Structure 1
Amino acid sequence: MPEMHFAIRWPDGTRETCYSPSLVIKDHLALGEAYPVADFLDRSRTALTIAGDRVRQKFGFDCPRAAGQIARLEAACRHFIDQPGALVSVESFQE
């Protein structure tokens, strides 16, 4: 199962590299796009849940890194969710 990383830029300009155990993240986030915080979180949560499910189906156990990444994104998004016009940008994908 090919894992990958994706780099994002938070509304405050901070950059972060995130993990996905599957390339499915590319089906939900587009390179160079900026998403409202809530939309970014929904898309990321959906993709990482699918990725985690794929790990479970293939290997028979959960992917703690996918779950951890979802939790990390949820925590970070709480800081920006109420800021009007706040966007999260997708800067790169590294397979």
Structure 2
Amino acid sequence: MPVTYFRVRWPDLTESNCYSPSSVVTDYFDAGQDYPLDEFMRRARLALSEASERVRAKYGYACTAAMAELEAMESTARRWQAAPGASVRLIGFDC
């Protein structure tokens, strides 16, 4: 269950380094791909929830860092919820 960092570019062209306790995020995203904001967040929720559950299965508790990362992403994404055509680019992974 290797820790995986992934870099995203938000609609305003700012970039964030994001954390996942598991490489499962690579099953949900492709490096260099643009995603409509809603689709990006749908995938992020699934990926980070699954990653957190993998931690629970192995250690007996959920990964609070994964959930904190998701909360930060949700907060950032809210800025563009009303922006038509807003998209997020998954720049790449660092496993």
* TM-score interval, normalised by the smaller of the two chains: over 0.9
- Correspondence for 2:84: 84
Give the gaps of 5 or more residues in structure 1: none
What displacement does 1:47 show?
A: 0.4
SS at match of 1:67: helix
Percentage of matched positions with identical amino acids: 40
The residue identity in structure 1 corresponding to 2:54 is R
The residue identity in structure 1 corresponding to 2:6 is F
The aligned runs of 1:40-51 (5 Å cut-off) are 40-51=40-51
What displacement does 1:61 show?
A: 1.1
C-alpha distance in 2 between matches for 1:54 and 1:21: 9
- Correspondence for 1:63: 63
What displacement does 1:92 show?
A: 1.1
Tell me the C-alpha RMSD between the 2 structures: 0.6
C-alpha distance in 2 between matches for 1:55 and 1:81: 30
1:40-91, Cα deviation, whole Å (9 max, x unpaired): 0000010000000000000011111001011011111100111111110011
Moved over 6 A (4+): none
Give the gaps of 5 or more residues in structure 2: none
